Structure 1
Amino acid sequence: MTSWTARDIPRLDGTTAVVTGANSGIGAATALYLARAGARTVLACRSLEKGAYTLERIRAVAPGADVRLVRLDLADLASVRESADHIGAEVDGSLGLLVNNAGVMALPLRHTADGFEMQFGTNHLGHFALTGHLGPLLSTGPARVVTLSSLGHRLGRIEFGNLNAERGYDKWRAYGASKLANLLFTAELDRRARLASRPLTAVAAHPGLSATELGQAGPTMAGRPWAARLERTSRLYTQPASAGALPVLRAATDPAARGGEYFGPGRLAETRGAPVLAKRSDRARDTETARALWEASVELTGVDPDPAAWG
């Protein structure tokens, strides 16, 4: 086919979608396109204030769009469980699309409310648990789960004896590990869905190099406002969030997308351009690591998103 663009998004009337981290950046752009296409769209955001601002912007650009807002803190498993309950009340018992978009990047060592290293706990474990809690809603008909990874997954390695950085911490290696975990989760979710004969499509995407707020938190938390200002200059050579959202949107809406696929920009070493099938590292293809990570994640979160157990 010719280059995939936002014009290729099909009508989504009758579909309910949840987008995590939809208050800004890739998440906000993704939510806007989905709402424009007719999907009932739930913005799952840590900050209700920022989420409300995005909700009003979407309603202004897409009059008549059905957009909802739910608070979600992926760094707190109690919040994840509570948010899933609220989402269930908003979507009338059925969910066709879950976009696991929210994330943090290159933070100084911090821990979640449950004691997990913040990047692994937020980017992977929070979404792992959310998917599990929403499983019964996803099981009501054909559904799709899209999980965002990154070019940074190539830096990652899953160290099962050091998942919470007890034996040393490097912020970029930890980020890479969390993004590698996103791809391994997608692969294992797809495998389990097929094994259980569930009509679930698990796919992944990455936005290339896109202008978002993702890189601001780390320098700010480290008390280096000058580094945060310097990071903003990167937007001079990155693509806008609306372009970075296209691989996510293709993964979410392309009828031809198959379970386990991974989409990213097609130009300049996958940093920008129209969405195509992306490359994943050898570690991201390791089926045994994917299974072991799933089991470790179940033990850590107390939640098992295995489609075979969905109602």
Structure 2
Amino acid sequence: MSRWTARDMPGLTGRNAIVTGANTGIGLPTALELARHGARVTVASRDPGKGRAAVAEILRAVPGAEVGYGRLDLADLASVREFAASVERVDLLVNNAGIGMVPRALTRDGFELQFGTNHLGHFALTGLLLPHLLERPGARVVTVSSDAHKVGRIDFDDLALTRGYGKMSAYGRSKLANLLFALELQRQATRAGTGLLSVATHPGMTATNIFSAGPLQGLVRLLLQPAFAGAVPSLYAATSPAIRGGEYIGPKARTLTPAPAARDEALAVRLWEVSAELTGVTFSQIAYR
């Protein structure tokens, strides 16, 4: 798979894709290539101006593409519910949006910002869209994690990180949660007898907004890969006929092995239960009975 590129993507005519955070970073080339290959794409982001600018950029690159904007603020569960209610059909959900290495803050619902945005927002969005996904043969959920998950630790007694906050450790925790969620979603979908595929990805060290305000700011263009290269794992996970549910896809479309914590099924189940309680989203169509 090391030679796989976006040129190897199959045609996607008739498929409906949602890419969160598609106005910037790896989300924009992900949305663009899905549109280029025939998918109807929704650019989901919190800033209407930036979201519509991304739509215009995609249309300049792919005249006639079916692409539109939907407002989605993953740090606000009311916004997540409003966006999900506007969706009529979805085949491919790319949980791409993320923030990282920011000072401690809270979401509108009172969750630690990185955990609340990167994990809980996407958990809720996926669960609310699940009925639509289960209606579509070959539906996929791609959740962008990171190898930063290897430094993540989840303390269920202090999810708000009131007893100590580190920008990188909080980011790693959110990425561990992303990976635990993606793998547990596949286990539950399989046990329920559905054809839904859930895949996690690691884009590699990519020049995105996550690094724009950090200590790497002056080096990103020199040391990190461009956004289009970081989009390759997501595009492969979303479209390749060779993909299997529960895989973790890294740079150049290579299959990676998650850290032991990410493969801890008991931890994944506990995180799932806590996430459902915090968000009020239950995944009732596939949840354990």
Contact residue 128 and residue 297 of structure 1 kept, 8 A: yes
1:231 is paired with a residue whose SS is: coil
Is the aligned partner of 1:54 residue 2:65? no
Q: After superposition, where does 1:241-260 map in structure 2 within 5 Å? A: 241-260=227-246
The alpha carbon displacement at 1:306 in A equals: 4.7
Contact 2:115 2:174 in 1 (8 A): yes
Q: Is the 8 A contact 1:27 1:102 kept in 2?
A: yes
Amino acid at match of 2:160: N
CA–CA separation in structure 1 for the residues paired with 2:234 and 2:199:
9
Give the Cα–Cα distance (whole angstroms) in 1 for the partners of residues 157 and 2 of structure 2: 46
Is the 1:186–1:260 contact (alpha carbons within 8 Å) kept by the matching residues of 2?
yes
Q: Counterpart of 2:98 in structure 1: which amino acid?
A: G
How does 1:86-165 map onto structure 2 within 5 Å? 86=86, 88=87, 93-142=88-137, 143-165=139-161
- Separation in structure 2 between the aligned mates of residue 159 and residue 257 of structure 1, nearest angstrom: 32
Task: Name the amino acid aligned to 2:264.
Answer: D
Structure 2 counterpart of 1:72: 72
Letter in 2 for 1:109: R
Q: Distance in 1 between matches of 2:188 and 2:17?
A: 22
Deviation, 1:9, is 0.6
Q: Deviations over 1:100-121 (max 9, x none)?
A: 0000001111000000000000
Q: Which residue of 2 aligns with 1:201?
A: 197
RMSD: 1.3
Give the Cα separation in 2 of the matches to 1:3 and 1:35: 22
Quote the residue 1:30 is aligned against. Answer: 30
The aligned residue for residue 277 of structure 1 is: 255
Deviations 1:8-58 (A, max 9, x none): 110000000000000011000100000000000000011110111110010
Give the drift of 1:2.
6.2
- Which amino acid in structure 2 is aligned with residue 71 of structure 1? R
Match of 2:94, as an amino acid?
V
2:286 aligned counterpart, secondary structure: helix
Letter aligned with residue 299 of structure 1 = E
Aligned counterparts of 1:259 and 1:307: Cα–Cα separation in 2: 18
Residues 79-137 of structure 1: CA distance to partner in whole angstroms, max 9, x if unpaired? 00001112x1xxxx321000000000011110000000000000000000000111111
Q: How many angstroms does 1:234 deviate by?
A: 2.1
Structure 1 position 212, deviation (Å): 1.1
Aligned to 1:6: 6
Give yes or no for contact 1:193–1:307 (8 Å, CA) kept in 2: no
Unaligned runs of 5+ in 2: none
Match runs of 1:150-189 below 5 Å: 150-189=146-185
Corresponding residue to 2:211 among 192, 200, 215: 215
Contact 1:10 / 1:37 at 8 angstroms: preserved in 2?
A: yes
Three-state SS of the structure 2 residue aligned to 1:44 is strand
Alignment of 1:216-235 (within 5 A): 216=212, 231-235=217-221
Q: TM-score, normalised by structure 2?
A: 0.96
Q: Per-residue displacement from partner, 1:234-261 (whole Å, max 9, x unpaired)?
A: 2211111001100111011111111100
Q: Is the 8 A contact 1:156 1:177 kept in 2?
A: yes
Task: Give the match's secondary structure for 1:211.
Answer: coil
Kindly provide the amino acid, as one letter, of the partner of residue 20 in structure 2: T
Q: Distance in 1 between matches of 2:187 and 2:145?
A: 18
Partner Cα distance (2:33, 2:92) in 1:
13
What residue is the counterpart of 1:286 in the other structure? Answer: 264
Q: Distance in 2 between matches of 1:113 and 1:127?
A: 15
For the residues of structure 2 that align with 1:5 and 1:306, how far apart are their CA atoms? 37
Q: In structure 1, what is the Cα distance between the partners aligned to 2:258 and 2:191?
A: 23
- Seq. identity, %: 56
Q: 1:40 maps to which residue? A: 40
